[in-house]
Amino acid sequence: MAEAKKVDMSFWDHLRELINRLRIIIYALIISTIVVMVVPVSFDLSSFFSANPFYLTITSYVIINFQERFLPPDAQLLPLSPTAPLEVYMFISVILGVVLSMPVISYELYKFLNPALYKRERKAVAQFVAAFAGLFIFGFALGYFYIVPLTMRMLFLFANLLHLPPLYDFTEFFSLIGLSLFLCGLIFTFPTYIVLLVKVGILETNRLTKNRKYLYGGILILIAFLDPDPGLVTEALVFVPVIILMEASILIAKRIEKAREAN
């Protein structure tokens, strides 16, 4: 019944439904961003009215944590414009807002597609949403603990080899860190697309295995294109885990095809 009702919807009904879903996504993103901007890490506000009338918010805590984790002890960040601290604060807040609202984004996209799908397709999309969110968090965490720290160490090492002073632009530093972490999370979601396309019958695993070298070459080019770091350090650190996940997704997709043929 749900399928028939959705099929009878006009183009404007579909457009209106999409706009409503996007509105919820935007609201979730705005609320999440405001939360990380204003909610204190600690509710002990005894020093709020001291000489510095600001408290430690989630965003400011993350900014301080990024400096302690990714910046060498002898390096120094310089805000080259009066608006640089505010720009960084807003940028990191939006990144955190996207990460926090990712479950809502995935759910709303699933709800938009759900009525137009058959029962088996709905199950596939639900699994896709769960896998997408899980792999995004996994990639973001891997980037935070391993990929980005190693990348930054290599970049700072080259600066030391050239005897450059350890002075860096405040805005550029956090743009590199924020984008690198976000892209780590996004890149690690690629295997979910493979499994979903095979599950709904759009893609076949034999084509993937025959054209594996082109697939991996395209992934490497895409990583290099999306990566804000112009070197090859991050590409190498991201490429290997992505290949492992891709191979695992191909094995899962083959099992799906066998089960479909058996039925």
Give the largest Cα separation in the chain, rounded: 73
Closest CA to 19 of 122, 112, 137, 156: 112
Give the chain's mean pLDDT.
81
Give the pLDDT confidence score for residue 179 in this predicted structure: 84
The answer to whether residue 152 is domain-embedded is yes
pLDDT at position 92 is: 93
Query: Measured between alpha carbons, how far is residue 220 from residues 21, 171, 236 in Å?
Result: 33, 27, 9
Structure tokens given for 1: 């019944």
**SS3 category, 40:** strand
User: Is residue 48 included in any domain, yes or no?
Assistant: no
Provide the pLDDT confidence category of residue 53 given band limits of 50, 70 and 90. low
Cα–Cα distance, 16 to 23 (Å, whole number): 10
- Say yes or no to pLDDT of 43 above 70: no
pLDDT at 64 over 90: yes
Evaluate if residue 3 carries a pLDDT over 50: no
Residue with tokens 């070298």: 213
How far from 35 is each of 17, 29, 38, 186, CA to CA, in Å? 27, 10, 6, 23
- Residue 147 inside a domain? The answer is yes
Angle of helix 84-100 versus helix 102-113 axis, rounded to 10: 50
pLDDT in tens, 147-188: 888 888 888 888 888 888 889 999 989 988 988 888 888 888
Confidence category of residue 97, pLDDT binned at 50, 70, 90:
very high
pLDDT at 238: 78
What token pair was written down for 254?
Answer: 């083959």
Model-level pTM? 0.75
**Distance from C-alpha of 230 to C-alpha of 125, rounded to nearest angstrom:** 35
How far from 114 is each of 95, 162, 163, 194, 226, CA to CA, in Å? 28, 56, 58, 19, 30
**Portion of the chain with pLDDT greater than 90, in percent:** 21
Residue 198 token pair: 């095979």
Please measure the distance between the N-terminal and C-terminal CA atoms of the chain and give it in whole angstroms.
Answer: 25
pLDDT confidence of residue 124: 65
Which has more confidence, 225 or 30? Answer: 30
pLDDT value of residue 32: 96
- Given pLDDT bands bounded at 50, 70 and 90, which one contains residue 36? very high
Q: How confident is the model at residue 27 (pLDDT cuts 50, 70, 90)?
A: very high
In a domain, 88, yes or no: yes
Is residue 224 in some structural domain? yes
pLDDT band at 1 (very low <50, low <70, confident <90, very high): very low
User: Is residue 84 in a domain?
Assistant: yes
**Is 49 within a domain?**
no
Number of domains in the chain: 1
Query: In which domain, by residue range, is 163 found?
Result: 2-41+55-262
- 50 within some domain: no
Q: pLDDT digits over 211-254, tens only?
A: 888 888 888 887 777 665 555 666 777 788 888 888 888 888 88
Residue type, 44: D
pLDDT at 2: 43
Which pLDDT does position 228 carry in this prediction?
57
- Tell me what the mean pLDDT of segment 133-154 comes to: 87
Looking at residue 11, its pLDDT comes to 65
Length of the chain as a residue count: 263
pLDDT recorded at residue 113: 66
